[in-house]
Each structure stands twice: as C-alpha cells, then as structure tokens.
Structure 1
Amino acid sequence: MKVTIDDVAQKAGVSKATVSRVLNKNYQYISDDTKERVLRAVEQLDYRPNALAKGLKSLKTNVIGLVLSNLRNPFWSQVLEGIEDVCKHYGYNLMIANSRDSLESEEDHIRGFGLRQVDGIIVNPATGMNPLFETLSEKQFPLVFLNRKVEGVAADTVVVDNIKGSRMAVEHLLRLGKRKIAIFLYPPNGISPRLERIEGYRLAMEENGLPVHPDWIKIVRNKQECQVEIGKLLETGLPDAIFSTNSILTLEIMDALKELGLSVPKDIAVLGYDETAWAKHLDPPLTTIEQPAYEMGRVSAERLIRRMDNKTDAALETILLEPALIVRRSCGET
C-alpha cells in the first residue's frame, strides 16, 4: 500500500500542513522536536513525496545528490569539476551539500535528498558512522563513497592509494638525505585516508631501516598546535623534514615555522599532500603528493550513473586511483 502524507502526519502526531512545511524546509514556528518527529516518521514509513512533475511520469528526476565533508579544502573544487562535467554530459543536474564534517548535518542532507527523489548519491563521508548508509545499501539505492572508505556498508567506493602516496613522500625525502622525518596530520578519528597515510609513513620508514619515533607522529588541529608541537621537536632536536598530510594543514605548518624563525628548506624540509593551484606560488614552491582530484570526481560520477541507468551489474568494488609526486623546492631539491 502506498504511503501518503496522512500516514506520516498520523505517525508523527501532527497535521498534514506541518508535514508539508517540514518537507519543504519551512521550519518557521516549528520546534526542533516536531521537525525530528516528522523526519523520523518519513524515514520509518519510507515516504517519498513527488518532487517534480517529471518524476510523477518517469519516476526519475535526473538529479544527483552530492555531499562533501569540507568545501573549505581547495582539493574539492577539482573533484567537483570532474563530477559536474560527467553530469552535464549525461544530462543530470547536481544538488550539492556541505556537511562540514558533521554527522548530523550529513544525515539531514541525505534525508533531504531522499525527499527530493534524487536518483543517486555521491558522498564524502563525515567522521563517524551514518546509519542511513546501511539503509540505502540494503535498498540497493545507487550510492558511491568518495575519498573515504566506510566499513561494513556495501557500496562502490572511489579512493586514492594513500599508503602509496605516503611511501612516495617518505622515499623522496630519503633520496634527498633526510633521515629524521616527522609526520603531521589532523586527528584520525577513524577516517581512512588519515589512517592510511600514517601506515604508509610507518612502512616506508621501517623498510628503509629507520626508527618510527612516536614523538615524530604529530596529531594537531590548528596552527597554534602546530607551533606547540614543532617547539617540542626543537627541544629534542629538530627533524630533517616534516611530511604534512593535508593541504590546509601544510599552510598552518608553514606559518608556524615562519613565526618560530625557521626557514624552509634551509632549516627543515616540508613536503605536502594534495596539489593545489597555490602550491607552486609558495616561498619556496611546495613539493607535494598529487591526488588525481578531477579523475576521482569523474570516475565516481560515471560509476554512479551506470548504476542508476542499470548499465552495469558488476560487483560493488573499491576503485583505487594512483597518486603522483610533484617535485619543486621545499625539500631542498636542486
């Protein structure tokens, strides 16, 4: 039996008008408790209102939902270009949301996509485990995870080989004669790229017969903490190099080093992760590990569209893309 708006209203204990306002994100005069009751009822009853007149006829809206975890990171602009180009080529519109790495915000966006009857979703998962992923997977709803792996959920996943990227970074520093290499990263919090970059760093050090000092693995959240941790390194003997695992973090490290009166690469080498438009304009120009951002976006969109159009019955898989080393002068290269 088809679920109607009356069923939702009855289950939530509100009027049909209130349900309609919540569905249209008109939250004026509606309490958070009422809003949550309505959204919960919608999810439990699997209510799917008609979002567009075209959807009434074809059951297809030609809209793809995209949730990214941090639009502040310039890496995502290139990923977005790849997704947009594929969507335009195949005649799909794109609905973009930014979770700001908030699980609650991510859940709200995905529920909103469901209410608008998007044909599929690409998501760069926020920190934590979103229960909606399991629901989408169980219903075989077209879903692609981007740049982060989600354990226990059956879905196509497009990521970069982060272990290889870290190994390439460390091995480049070793070729330049660096032996005391510190790694800086944001709190891992179960996020697969961060964990894999630590693993690649450990493997490269161990394979080259070098110790992995716990004090050289620095977990930081901002520039102030970078400065504190670099200060601690100064007290015990400055390392030869810092391997930064994030483009925004690299800027924070460079600022912290400058404020401490340290020169790159004269006093210490810095190697970054994620090629950006500004990396070559830094002083000195930044040596970095490039992720194929545009390709990541393109591949994820093509994979999703093939699922949505039933053009593939291939098994779900994790697609692993290759990183590359961009050599400039921040590590003392000549």
Structure 2
Amino acid sequence: MKVTISDIAKKAGVSKSTVSRILNGNYGQNTKDTVDKVLKVIKELDYRPNALAQSLKSMKTNVIGIILSNLKNPFWARVLEGVEDTCRKNGYNLMICNSNEDELLEEEHIKAFLMRQVDGIIINATVKNDHLYKRLIDQKFPFVTINRKIPGLDIDLVTMDNVAGSMAGVEHLIGQGKNSIALFVYPQENVSPRLDRIEGYMKALISNGIEIDHSLIHVVEEKQGRVKEAVKKLLSTTNRPDAIFSTNNMMTLEILEGIKEMGLNVPKDISLVGYDETVWSMHLNPPLTTVYQPSYDMGELAAKRVIELIEKTGDLQPITHILQPNLIIRESCGTKKEEFISE
C-alpha cells in the first residue's frame, strides 16, 4: 500500500502541514526533536514522494534529456559519465536517447522530451533539424549542443579542437618518415568534427611540404564492413601508402581487420594512428597511437552549462567551450615507449 503524508503525520503525532514543511526542507518552525521524529518515520515507512505532483507544483521536473548520435561508439560512454555525474551532484535525473544519425528519430526524441517537460536538453545533433533547433533557441529553452557545430545558429556548444587533434596525429606520422598517408573518414554531410579532421590532415601535409593527394582521402559509408573492404582495396594497389590516419575509433577496428586480412603487419608494413582513445587502444597488438579527447570533460561542461541555463545562474548569452585533444604515442607507428603528448 502506498504511504501518504497522512500516514506519516498520524504515526509521528504531528499535523500534515508539519510533515509537508519538513519534506520540503523547511525545518525552522519545528524543534529538532520533531524534525528527527518525522524523518525517522519517513525512513521507517519508506515514503517516496510523488515526483509528478511535485513537478506540477514547482513547474520543474529536475530531468535533463540527452540525445546522442551513436551509442555503439565507446566515446559516448565517457561523455555520458560526465553528464550523469554532474546531473546527479546537482539534483537532476538524466533521460538518454539515441538518434542513430536519423534526423526523423532525433525530431521524435526532441518532441518527446518537450512533451515530458524535461528542464533542458543536451544533443549531439544530426545537424538536419534546423527548424527544431531554432525553435528551442527562440523559446529560450535550456539547450546545449556537444561535439558538432550547427551552422548558422548562435547556440551553446561544447566541442573539441578537431583540427589540432588531426594535425597532431598526421604530423607524428610525418615525423616517423611517412609521406604517403591515407585518410579514412565517414561522409561529412556538414558534420563539423569530420570536416575539421580533414582540414587538420591537409594542414599538416601542407605545413610539412607534402603535396595533397586526393586519391588518398577515403570517404567511406558508415556501414559495417565498408571500411574494411576499402582498406583491402587500397592495400592491394602497387603504390600503397605507408601510413593510415583513421578519424574514428569504430573505423579503426575495421582498418585493422583489413590490414590483417591482407597479411600485412602494423607497424612493419604500414603505420596507423587512430582517433579517440578507448579502453582497448593500449591492449591492441600493437598498442595503438591515438588522439585522446577529454570526453568526460565534454559531458561535465555540457551538463554544467545546461543546469546554468535552467537555473539562470550564469551568463545567458551562448558560450562555446573548445577542449584540446592530446596525442598518445604507442607502438602502431614504430615507437616503443608510450608517450602522452600535450598539444
């Protein structure tokens, strides 16, 4: 049977209004003995407040929604950890949705969040629902984007310096004597991290006097097996590259599969640098040189910012946070000792 405020009041020998005040944290009008007695009864009866009733009364649900583009990617696990830790410390619950890079599904999630009266939304946008993003901005709804920029909209953003991260990876390969470096990237479609990583790749080549060979830039469909087949095709040519720069950790696994199936060895036959440090990067054979992104920090900053917007405690003008990646050097380029290089 559900425990009510009346049950608590009866057992504690106090009025319902006294119980209500104590539940709301208003202890001042009661003696310490009364407060202790009521709190003890609350614990004994395992009383659980009606969250819906409380939210109707306060016009606040203490829930934040987050929409991510691909929950299969381990990068988002650390982002979510940063978001959830910050929400919990500040008294908010988190609702998690996956758009799977589908703008229609993303739209459905946004509308569902608004229907459920969440207090704010964090989103790694598909960048295809401008009308919805703009509506949230116009309504001054607490709304923070992560990772991807939304062109043409002035909006709160927490992202990475992907140009710098890409340059660091490619310049390391050049420093190892590699001058034919293939780039693998998923289709850009105005997705800023992908575009920025291509830009960083090109800048690193140009700044080191290496001519850009567009035949080495491989834009591969984001479907299982497509990257592996593209790698095998590339490595079967007579003028195969001496290094590969992968712009996504899920892509890196398929690249490694393709290299293995071609009977080649990393780094003896071809060097490899990946993007996104994961728990398995150091356990690969050989351990993977990779661009590390402070993903937990991204989640933490996004959650802090959306809470500021909800509670109106910070600057309400849109703010952009750009986090700096670092390069972790391991053996996939020939280096023997692990190094953590801060850019």
> What's the TM-score, normalizing by structure 2?
0.80
Distance in 2 between the 1:250 and 1:233 partners? 15
Where do residues 82-161 of structure 1 align in structure 2 (5 Å cutoff)?
Answer: 82-161=82-161
User: Once the 2 structures are TM-superposed, how far is the Cα of residue 174 of structure 1 from its aligned partner?
Assistant: 1.2
One-letter identity of the residue aligned with 1:291: Q
1: CA distance, partners of 2:88 / 2:110: 22
Partner of residue 244, structure 1: 246
Residue equivalent to 1:59: 59
Rounded to whole Å, the distance in 1 between the matches of 2:231 and 2:280 is: 25
- Residue identity matched to 2:191: I
Moved more, 193-202 or 147-156: 147-156
Residue deviations 1:250-282 (CA, integer Å, cap 9, x gap): 000000111111111110001000000011111
Give the residue type in structure 1 aligned to 2:293.
Q
Q: Distance in 1 between matches of 2:299 and 2:77?
A: 10
Match of 2:212 in 1: 212
Asked whether the equivalents of residues 146 and 302 of structure 2 are also in contact (C-alpha less than 8 Å), the reply is yes
Superposed displacement of residue 242, structure 1? 0.2
When the two chains are superposed, the root-mean-square deviation of aligned CA atoms in Å is 1.3
Gaps of 5+ in 2: 1-50, 337-343
Q: Residues of 1 paired with 2:141 and 2:167: CA distance? A: 36
Matches within 5 A, 1:269-280: 269-280=271-282
Per mean C-alpha deviation after superposition, the further-off stretch among 252-261 and 312-321 is: 312-321
Post-superposition Cα deviations, 1:94-135, rounded to whole Å, max 9, x if no partner, equal 011111111000000010000111110000112523421110
Instruction: Give the C-alpha shift of residue 224 in structure 1.
Output: 3.7
1-side partners of 2:309 and 2:127: how far apart? 26
- Counting aligned pairs with the same residue, the percent is 50
Mapping 1:1-334, distance limit 5 Å: 52-221=52-221, 222-334=224-336
Look up the match of 2:16.
Answer: none
Deviation at 1:229, TM superposition (A): 4.5
Cα-to-partner distance string for 1:267-323 (whole Å, 9 max, x where unaligned): 000100000001111111111000100000000000110111100134212210000
C-alpha contact 1:227 1:257 (8 A) present in aligned 2:
no
Larger radius of gyration: 2
Distance 1:139 1:284 in 2: 51
> Take 1:213 and 1:223, find their aligned partners in 2: how far apart are those partners?
25
Shift of 1:225: 4.2
Structure 1: runs of 5 or more not aligned: 1-50
Equivalent in the alignment of 2:4:
none
TM-score (norm. length: structure 1):
0.82
What is the letter of the counterpart of residue 260 of structure 2?
Answer: K
Offset from partner CA, 1:138-197 (integer Å, 9 cap, x none):
011010001101012222000000000000001111111111111101111111100000
- Deviation at residue 234 of structure 1 after TM alignment: 3.6
Give the conservation status (yes or no) of the 8 Å contact 2:127–2:150.
no
**Contact 2:106–2:126 at 8 Å: present in 1 too?**
yes
